[in-house]
A and B are shown apart, each in its own frame.
Chain A
Amino acid sequence: MPNVNSAQTALDLLVLTILDRRGPLHGYGIAVAIGDLSEETLRVEEGSLYPALHRMEELGWISAEWKMSETKRRARFYRISKAGKKQLASESERWASFSAGVSRVLRHA
């Protein structure tokens, strides 16, 4: 079973995946990416992204730094770290088996 608090786990998983695939992004970029990729089906409060980002930063999964963005404004860019990649690998595997299990139950019950 993955973490019971699966909403949080899911958000972590999304953020880590996006950062892993697309390279460094600022918070708004991540929010936009989540919206685009899930075709707006995953509509979370955009702000709740930030506590999650800061928590993962403290955990050492991602790192952040202030950089000039394309629009010549300062923005905080997040980048996935080695520990984050490890976390992503183990967590996505567990997530896959979990969701497979759930969909099996949904199908055969």
Chain B
Amino acid sequence: MSWFSRLRNAWNPRRLDADLDEEMRDHLERRAAALEQKGEKAEEAHRKARLRFGNATRLHEESRGFRLWTGLETTLQDIRYGWRGMRRSPGFTVTAVLSLGLAIGAITAIYSIVDAAVLMPLPVSKPDQLFRLAYPAISGIGSSAIDEWDSFSYPMYQRFLAASGPAARLAAFSNPESAEVQRSNSGATSQKVTRQFVSGNAFDLLGVSPALGRLLSPDDNRMPSGRAVAVLSYDYWNRRFDRDPKALGQLLQIDGKPYQIVGVARQGFWGVEPGRFVDIWVPATTYNSQALAGLDWHWLRIIGRLAPGVIRRQFQARLQPSFHQLQMELIKSSHMMPAMVRKQFLSSVIRVHPAATGVSDFRQTFSRPLWIVFGVALGILLIACANVASLLLARATARRTEMAMRVSLGAARKRLIRQMLTESLMLSLAAGALGWLFARIIAPLVVSAISTQGNPVQLALATDIRVLLFCIAVSTLAAVLFGLAPAWQASGVQPMLALRSSTGQASKLRLGKWFVSIQVACAFCMVMVGAAFLFSLGNLLRVNPGFDARNVAVLNLTMKAAKSDDPVAYSANHPGEQTRLRNLMFQIQQRVATQPGIQSAALAWWPIFEGGGWSERVIMPGKGPSERQEIFYRVSPKYFAALHTPLISGRDFRRRDSTAPQPIPAIVNEAFARRYFHGLNVLGRQFSYPFPPSPVRVAVVGVVADARYYNLRQPADPIVYLPLEATDSFTLYVRSPLNLGQIVRIAGHAANAVGSGMQIREATTLETIVGNTLLREKLLAGVGGAFAFFGLLLAAIGLFGLLSYSVGRRRKEMGIRVALGAQRGEIVALVLKDVTGLMGGGLIAGLAGALAIITVFRSLLFRIPFGDPWVIGTAIALFLLTGLLAAGLPAHRAATVDPVRALREE
């Protein structure tokens, strides 16, 4: 009660004051009345009563101290005072809140993404006990620059399981990938979901409970083939089943295979991979049997939980012997492994990493770019702080007389600083609230910018209280950053000087110049880094990929196999089936290519630039297998014509090449010809590639220009193109000026006409596919560039403000100069000299910072050398232009000063 009443009194001290006054007045009057009764005159009675009472004001203050919360009262006073100040200068308030709000919004948005993707622990119990397994990448295999692999085969998982004993539990997870799902009972259309194969103990190990039904158990994961049961994520259950408990027991056709729904995982669990939300989990052993048995079929990640008391190092030592043994077996089973690769296999060491934050491809690709963008956002915040600080400084100067008055009336410096910091905090918390709203808008936009149809990025952005705390912390920190220096300076006013005249401004301007220098340094650094990323993206976009991606649609089709219970197994063992499939494929190509509006159509096993690939070692006549694995790609006739890849010499494939006996006709690109034949004159030359039981011989019938296969960054890889062979899922390239929808309709008609249950699974354009490999660059150039521009704008506003202010202060001086005969040009030069002085130091600091950043993140830049003159030149030009624009108006004002009026003022 007393606590509450003190709070209430602090909130509204006027009532308390009235209360106290009334009580004391009552006392005085009663005393006076008593004295009057004793015969005193009224006036005398009142005087004596007051005398007996003592110093009423002091007593009032003393009582007040007991009955209200003085600290809070002071704060509330400061807030009211600040509020009045903000209302009095709405221009300043709006500018400050808006620029700070945008800056706080930018940094909060990026933080929320970084937090969800990189920092937040998995939504499971005791995530810090989790670990994941990995091993060093073996060079010469695969295309990517990742130096560590974490994919294992199912037999490897089983061996590790046996080796780990009681020291740890292990669970296996496939990559979450899209699958087609159809609800059996509704006969509805199929939908795309994200499906993950997991070992039966996965949920138990993670400590995830069911929201409905049961989760997977080790019993579901029976070998050789698991129970066809599925667990839904809560989100998917909500989305597709409206949280209907009757979903339990229903059948789902997942990629054509029936699964029974047995349960729903608890709310908030989306898997172990930040950036990817799983919709459906199924037992790993329902994957195709070939993959399950294959020692070298790497498709699982292994996540485990250590038993209490076991440390990761001990567990690593425990696992290493079986890992080594597995590597030996892999070497034995592999055909003609070169000595260099064998050595890497033998010396390979298993690694046990902490996995509290899960495993993520998204993180691997985007965590560094995200941190960079975070840094850029931090730069914006610094600029905005410096900006507001100099605005505050200017305002403090306007309030100098008031400050001086208060100091001379006895206000403590601490009290003044406290009051001004309260104002700063009010500004920044208002900005923080605005920023929070901005962040809620910006963050999903940034995520959607790096999300693609084939690889959707989903992050738990909104759910985290940590982001809100971050936002508040940033706002508070910002208040101290921009509020402290001006408050310190303003409160240190010398009343004598300030009240007498308006001299003694030099120190204030010096501080202001510091702020501008900071702004210039940050802004220049950001502009230069932004320019580097923009140029880098430009360089990538200018790369000649070796094909023309415009007007090419890419359709992925699947066909029902006539007799196959295993949809993934490749039906090479059935010659009749193969012929049937091949004929159907060529029919589709033929039908689509002859439709009006279609320029050409071609087939391949999978689309380029999506990471899919087949690589083999090359065996030159009389030599061992190559150390490198080269890209092999099966394509139909007209492939090069459809993609506009020039044929340098020789001929294109023909249909009958697909059934040709060895040596099989092959087309190689120039890079391959140069690497393996040391020249382009290679028609008729032969080589082979390993294929158990004996190598396959091929003969070169054509040479094509180099074309990129995985991405635009790496130089063109050697590629061997082989004739198309039958497969039940393949890619159709269509070159046509028609739009994608029209092309899909045409292809759909063609597929129906051919029959055989052919289906279009995915449709996109080649430009989109190529663009998707540039997401990281686009994020950096787009978001980074936009942020840098914003920073530049803020810095320009800051510069403009300071110059306007300093020109205003120097009106008299300018007036004298003009009166003494200074020309306009001289006055302008005087102001501009100020600008260059201000910008020079900041520019140098910014340049140094930018060069350091660019050096550190060199690998994210494409063909941007250290100290690239184009990047530096562009940044400086942009900057000088901005500086001139910001300085132009103040300089003009200075030059047009009317000396008579300027000198008469004051």
User: Which residues from chain A sit less than 8 Å from chain B, CB to CB?
Assistant: 26-28, 31-32, 45-48, 50-51, 54-55, 57-58, 60, 73-76
Chain A's closest residue to B1 (CB) is A60
CB within 8 Å for A58 and B23 given contacts A46-B52, A46-B53, A48-B54: no
A46 with B26: CB separation less than 8 A = no
Which B residues between 10 and 28 are near A, CB-CB below 8 angstroms?
Answer: 19-20, 22-24, 26-27
User: Which listed segment binds A: B62-70, B159-167, B270-278, B303-311?
Assistant: B62-70
B26 with A50: CB separation less than 8 A = no
Chain A's closest residue to B52 (CB) is A46
Across the interface, B63 reaches (CB within 8 A) one of A26, A54, A73, A75, namely A54
Q: Which residues of chain A are near B22, meaning CB under 8 Å?
A: 74
Q: Which residues of chain B are near A48, meaning CB under 8 Å?
A: 54, 59
Q: Is B844 an interface position by the 8 A CB rule?
A: no
Known: A54-B63, A74-B26. 6 other contacts (CB 8 A): A27-B27, A45-B52, A47-B56, A51-B62, A57-B2, A75-B23
A-B contact pairs, 26 of them (CB 8 A): A28-B26, A28-B27, A28-B30, A31-B31, A45-B52, A46-B52, A46-B54, A47-B56, A48-B54, A50-B23, A50-B27, A50-B63, A51-B62, A54-B66, A55-B66, A57-B2, A57-B66, A57-B67, A58-B2, A58-B6, A60-B2, A73-B26, A74-B26, A75-B23, A76-B19, A76-B23
Q: Is B573 an interface position by the 8 A CB rule?
A: no
Closest-CB distance, A87 to chain B (whole angstroms): 15
CB within 8 Å for A51 and B66 given contacts A58-B2, A73-B26: yes
A54 with B24: CB separation less than 8 A = no
CB within 8 Å for A47 and B66 given contacts A28-B31, A74-B26: no
A27 with B54: CB separation less than 8 A = no
Across the interface, B26 reaches (CB within 8 A) one of A26, A45, A47, namely A26
Q: Which residues of chain A are near B59, meaning CB under 8 Å?
A: 47-48, 50-51
Q: Which residues of chain B are near A74, meaning CB under 8 Å?
A: 22, 26
Q: Which residues of chain B are near A58, meaning CB under 8 Å?
A: 2, 6, 66-67
Q: How distant is the Cα of A75 from the Cα of B29 in the complex, in angstroms?
A: 12
Q: Which residues of chain A are near B67, meaning CB under 8 Å?
A: 54, 57-58
Closest-CB distance, B1 to chain A (whole angstroms): 8
B24 with A50: CB separation less than 8 A = yes
Closest-CB distance, B372 to chain A (whole angstroms): 57
Across the interface, A75 reaches (CB within 8 A) one of B26, B53, B55, namely B26
Q: Which residues of chain B are near A28, meaning CB under 8 Å?
A: 26-27, 30-31
Across the interface, B27 reaches (CB within 8 A) one of A31, A51, A54, A60, namely A31
Q: Which residues of chain A are near B31, meaning CB under 8 Å?
A: 28, 31, 46
Q: Which residues of chain A are near B2, meaning CB under 8 Å?
A: 57-58, 60
Q: Which residues of chain A are near B27, meaning CB under 8 Å?
A: 27-28, 31, 46-47, 50
Closest-CB distance, B275 to chain A (whole angstroms): 57
Flag B711-730 by CB within 8 Å of A: 1 or 0 each.
00000000000000000000
Give the interface centre of B52, B55, B66 by most chain A CB atoms within 10 Å: B66
A47 with B6: CB separation less than 8 A = no
Q: How distant is the Cα of A74 from the Cα of B56 in the complex, in angstroms?
A: 20
**Secondary structure class of chain B's binding surface, majority of residues:** helix
User: For this complex, into which size category does the number of interface residues on chain B fall?
Assistant: 20 to 34
Chain B's closest residue to A44 (CB) is B54
Flag B47-87 by CB within 8 Å of A: 1 or 0 each.
00000111110010011001100000000000000000000
Chain A's closest residue to B64 (CB) is A54
A45 with B53: CB separation less than 8 A = yes
Chain B's closest residue to A69 (CB) is B26
A45 with B63: CB separation less than 8 A = no
Closest-CB distance, B751 to chain A (whole angstroms): 86
Q: How distant is the Cα of A32 from the Cα of B27 in the complex, in angstroms?
A: 10
Give the interface centre of B19, B30, B53 by most chain A CB atoms within 10 Å: B30
Q: Which residues of chain A are near B55, meaning CB under 8 Å?
A: 47
Q: Which residues of chain B are near A73, meaning CB under 8 Å?
A: 26
B24 with A47: CB separation less than 8 A = yes
Q: How distant is the Cα of A75 from the Cα of B22 in the complex, in angstroms?
A: 8
Q: Which residues of chain A are near B20, meaning CB under 8 Å?
A: 50
Chain A's closest residue to B56 (CB) is A47
Q: Which residues of chain A are near B30, meaning CB under 8 Å?
A: 28
Q: Which residues of chain A are near B53, meaning CB under 8 Å?
A: 45-47
Q: Which residues of chain B are near A47, meaning CB under 8 Å?
A: 24, 27, 53-56, 59
Q: Which residues of chain A are near B6, meaning CB under 8 Å?
A: 58
Closest-CB distance, B15 to chain A (whole angstroms): 12
Q: How distant is the Cα of A28 from the Cα of B34 in the complex, in angstroms?
A: 11
Across the interface, A51 reaches (CB within 8 A) one of B19, B26, B52, B63, namely B63
Q: Which residues of chain A are near B26, meaning CB under 8 Å?
A: 26-28, 73-76
Q: Which residues of chain B are near A51, meaning CB under 8 Å?
A: 59, 62-63, 66
Q: How distant is the Cα of A46 from the Cα of B27 in the complex, in angstroms?
A: 9
Q: How distant is the Cα of A101 from the Cα of B791 in the complex, in angstroms?
A: 78
Closest-CB distance, B205 to chain A (whole angstroms): 57
Which B residues between 790 and 828 are near A, CB-CB below 8 angstroms?
Answer: none
Chain B's closest residue to A26 (CB) is B26
Q: Which residues of chain A are near B54, meaning CB under 8 Å?
A: 45-48
Closest-CB distance, A52 to chain B (whole angstroms): 9
Q: How distant is the Cα of A60 from the Cα of B1 in the complex, in angstroms?
A: 9
Chain B's closest residue to A60 (CB) is B2
Q: Which residues of chain B are near A75, meaning CB under 8 Å?
A: 23, 26
Q: How distant is the Cα of A107 from the Cα of B412 in the complex, in angstroms?
A: 52
Q: Which residues of chain B are near A45, meaning CB under 8 Å?
A: 52-54
Closest-CB distance, A94 to chain B (whole angstroms): 23
Q: Which residues of chain B are near A76, meaning CB under 8 Å?
A: 19, 23, 26
Chain B's closest residue to A53 (CB) is B63
Q: How distant is the Cα of A75 from the Cα of B62 in the complex, in angstroms?
A: 20
Chain B's closest residue to A48 (CB) is B54
Give the interface centre of A31, A54, A60 by most chain B CB atoms within 10 Å: A54
Closest-CB distance, B272 to chain A (whole angstroms): 57
Flag B79-118 by CB within 8 Å of A: 1 or 0 each.
0000000000000000000000000000000000000000
Q: How distant is the Cα of A76 from the Cα of B56 in the complex, in angstroms?
A: 17
Closest-CB distance, B825 to chain A (whole angstroms): 72
Closest-CB distance, B572 to chain A (whole angstroms): 91
Q: How distant is the Cα of A55 from the Cα of B63 in the complex, in angstroms?
A: 7
B66 with A27: CB separation less than 8 A = no
Closest-CB distance, B799 to chain A (whole angstroms): 55
Chain B's closest residue to A51 (CB) is B62
Q: How distant is the Cα of A76 from the Cα of B55 in the complex, in angstroms?
A: 20
Q: How distant is the Cα of A74 from the Cα of B19 in the complex, in angstroms?
A: 11
Shortest beta-carbon contacts, A-B, top 7: A45-B54, A47-B54, A51-B62, A47-B53, A28-B30, A54-B63, A47-B59
Give the interface centre of A31, A46, A57 by most chain B CB atoms within 10 Å: A46
Q: How distant is the Cα of A48 from the Cα of B53 in the complex, in angstroms?
A: 8
Give the interface centre of B22, B34, B63 by most chain A CB atoms within 10 Å: B63
Q: How distant is the Cα of A57 from the Cα of B63 in the complex, in angstroms?
A: 10
Q: Which residues of chain A are near B24, meaning CB under 8 Å?
A: 47, 50
Q: Which residues of chain A are near B23, meaning CB under 8 Å?
A: 27, 50, 75-76
Q: How distant is the Cα of A41 from the Cα of B52 in the complex, in angstroms?
A: 14
Q: How distant is the Cα of A47 from the Cα of B26 in the complex, in angstroms?
A: 12
Give the interface centre of B19, B24, B27, B63 by most chain A CB atoms within 10 Å: B27
Closest-CB distance, A45 to chain B (whole angstroms): 4
Give the interface centre of A28, A47, A58 by most chain B CB atoms within 10 Å: A47
Closest-CB distance, B36 to chain A (whole angstroms): 14
Q: How distant is the Cα of A51 from the Cα of B54 in the complex, in angstroms?
A: 12
Q: How distant is the Cα of A15 from the Cα of B380 in the complex, in angstroms?
A: 64
Closest-CB distance, A11 to chain B (whole angstroms): 13
Q: Which residues of chain B are near A60, meaning CB under 8 Å?
A: 2
Q: How distant is the Cα of A28 from the Cα of B53 in the complex, in angstroms?
A: 10
Closest-CB distance, B24 to chain A (whole angstroms): 6
Q: Which residues of chain A are near B52, meaning CB under 8 Å?
A: 45-46
Q: How distant is the Cα of A74 from the Cα of B52 in the complex, in angstroms?
A: 22
Q: How distant is the Cα of A54 from the Cα of B64 in the complex, in angstroms?
A: 8
Q: Which residues of chain B are near A55, meaning CB under 8 Å?
A: 66
Flag B466-496 by CB within 8 Å of A: 1 or 0 each.
0000000000000000000000000000000
Chain B's closest residue to A75 (CB) is B26
